[in-house]
Structure formats: structure tokens, C-alpha cells
Amino acid sequence: MNNKILDILKNTEGYISGEEIGEKLGVSRTAVWKAISKLKKEGYNIEAVNNRGYHIIDDVDIINEKEIQDAIHTEILGKKIIFKDTVTSTNDVIKYIAEKGEKEGTVAVSEIQTAGRGRMGRKWESERGDGLWFSILLRPDIDPRKAPMLTLLAGLCVCRAARRVTGLDVSIKWPNDVIINDKKICGILTEMSTEIQKINYVVVGIGINVNTENFPEELSDVATSLKKEAGKDFSRKELLNEVLKDFEMYYNKYVKYGDFSIFTEEYEKMCNTIGRDINVIGRETYPAKAVGINESGELIVERENGTREIVFSGEVSVRRR
């Protein structure tokens, strides 16, 4: 019933009385009043004025299953949304249901992650609201060796969507970070379950700092949010829709062509690692210049003696000199 009341309030210009809502739904005014009190507790900004009735002010960035479902306009990715207020990580939610046979495209979203992860077991700070933490279940019919490139594809799509929604100068730090002014607004963690030649499933986990105002001290130099950069709030569900729309389009293309080369040009344009002097940090650490991306999404670097090397994302980190 709460969802029906929300629909009525959102589709009414001005005020509507409790009695009228009750009539539409075949319930009492008291029942309407109770439901509205509950919605207010959830954070909805609903005004009640004597003799006029109720009115919703759509100015709060609430995410829940209904809000997200209403905002998503895609064919497959996000057709089914699982929203949970608090989870260990949205990747865990997807892995669990993937093992039970859940279909491709289901997206898990949470307000808080108690154990959000980055690459190599690093921590992803997402223990408070205001962020967009979500994971997508994919079952691509491709060679398992081609799955890691989905991380780059997701980064490209987050970058495109964030630029569109915010107008900010968003770029990619190879391989998997989306940044503004060299500070991270998004991290992506891809995990998968494979057999020798077959992918069971891939989970693409994406964390975007949307309306975050304060980061823990240790992240203040490396992290920022869309709100901090733009000085205003953004709608998380709208951003989610934009990311999923792009990712659906790019993912379908990738599965069809089976090759990252169709995206390298756009990726290189959005990637601000390219053209920079960097330190490649791996088994061996050395200074180099990042010159491009190959058809597998690997970084091509040039050492100071002019020799070129390929850098794989799993092995190294790239830091500015």
C-alpha cells in the first residue's frame, strides 16, 4: 500500500486529502495517515496541511527497491533490483544468488556495505549512506580470459555517465578507477566463477561516491565525491540508470565482437593515465611513460630507454611520478 500511496502523491499536483487517497485505495483515512507516517520515517518529505491534505516534495535522494525500479529504463541490466539497506558487500549478494541460478542482469544495491572491497583485498569505504554501491550479475558467453576487460568497460561507462549527469571533468585512471582532479570517485571490483572454458558468472561491483561529504582522514587525499566537486547533490537512482544504460549497450557489443579494440579509442581519450609519466609498481618497479591501451585493455608503457612493455592490471599499480 505504501508504494501505491507514493504513486498517488507523486502523480498529484498540489494537495490530496487523506480521504481521497483512502477512497482510491479502499482503506480508511487512519490507515492512510499511518502509512504516511511510515513513509516520513523512511525519509520521504511529505507535508500535511490542515484542510488541504498531503503533498510530497520530491527533493530527497531516497533509494529503495521501488525508487530504483521506477528510475531504471533498461532492457536487461537492472530489470530486477535487489535492494538491501545494509550488506557485507553487494558483490556477496550477487555471488550468493548467482550460485543459486539467478538470471543475468540482476542488480544488487545497498545503502551501506560493512565489508566493501577493492582489488587485492583492499578495503572500500562504504559504511555510510550517500554513495551508490551496486553489483551486476552477468553470464557472458565468452572466453574466460576476456572477462577481466569487463572492468575497463564498466569504468568507461561510469565515466561517460558521470560526465553526462554532472558535467564535471571525469576521467579514468587505468585500469579501474574513475577520478576527478586525480581523486577517486569510483572503484570497480570484478569477480568471477569459471570452469576451464566457460564462465559461470561474472559480478561487476561498482562503488561511486555520489553525495559523500566527509571521508575518513586516511582517504582525504585520495577520495572525492561528485557532490564535493560540483557543490551540489545528485540523484543516485538517476546516475544508476545512466550507468546501466551505457553498460548494457557496451556489454552487448563486447560480447558480440569479443574484443576490446572497438573501445580503445574512446577509452584512451577518457583515460588520463595515457601520456603521463608514471611509476609501474609490480615485481619490478620502474619509471615509464604510459602510451596507450592494447586490444586486451592492457597498458602499453615506454621505459626511459625507449623499449615498450605491456602492463597487466592484476600485477601492478600505477602511480604518478
Nearer to ligand ADP, 47 or 213 (CB): 213
Q: What is the DSSP letter of 117?
A: B
Nearer to ligand ADP, 16 or 208 (CB): 208
Residue with the shortest CB distance to ligand ADP: 118
Residue 269: Cβ within 10 Å count: 13
- In one-letter notation, the amino acid at residue 79 is K
What residues make contact with ligand ADP under the rule CB under 6 A? 118-119, 122-126, 176-177, 184, 187, 209, 219, 222-223, 317
Q: What is the DSSP letter of 103?
A: P
Nearer to ligand ADP, 19 or 221 (CB): 221
Nearer to ligand ADP, 223 or 244 (CB): 223
Q: What is the DSSP letter of 220?
A: T
**Beta carbon of residue 250, minimum distance to ligand ADP (angstroms, whole number):** 20
**Beta carbon of residue 124, minimum distance to ligand ADP (angstroms, whole number):** 4
Q: What distance lies between CA 172 and its chain's CA centroid?
A: 14
Nearer to ligand ADP, 44 or 247 (CB): 247
- In one-letter notation, the amino acid at residue 224 is T
Instruction: Provide the phi-psi class of 109: left if phi over 0, else alpha when psi is between -120 and 50, else beta.
Output: beta
Instruction: Enumerate the β-bridge partners of residue 194.
Output: 199
Q: Got the DSSP string for 244-305? A: HHHHHHHHHHHHHH--THHHHHHHHHHBTTTTSEEEEESSSEEEEEEEEE-TTSPEEEEETT
Cα 209 to Cα 89, 125, 177, 179: the distances in Å are: 15, 10, 12, 10
Nearer to ligand ADP, 17 or 317 (CB): 317
**Beta carbon of residue 125, minimum distance to ligand ADP (angstroms, whole number):** 3
**Beta carbon of residue 153, minimum distance to ligand ADP (angstroms, whole number):** 16
**Beta carbon of residue 215, minimum distance to ligand ADP (angstroms, whole number):** 7
Cα 314 to Cα 151, 255, 309: the distances in Å are: 11, 22, 15
**Beta carbon of residue 35, minimum distance to ligand ADP (angstroms, whole number):** 35
**Beta carbon of residue 286, minimum distance to ligand ADP (angstroms, whole number):** 18
Phi/psi of residue 295, each to 5°?
A: -70, -10
Nearer to ligand ADP, 90 or 209 (CB): 209
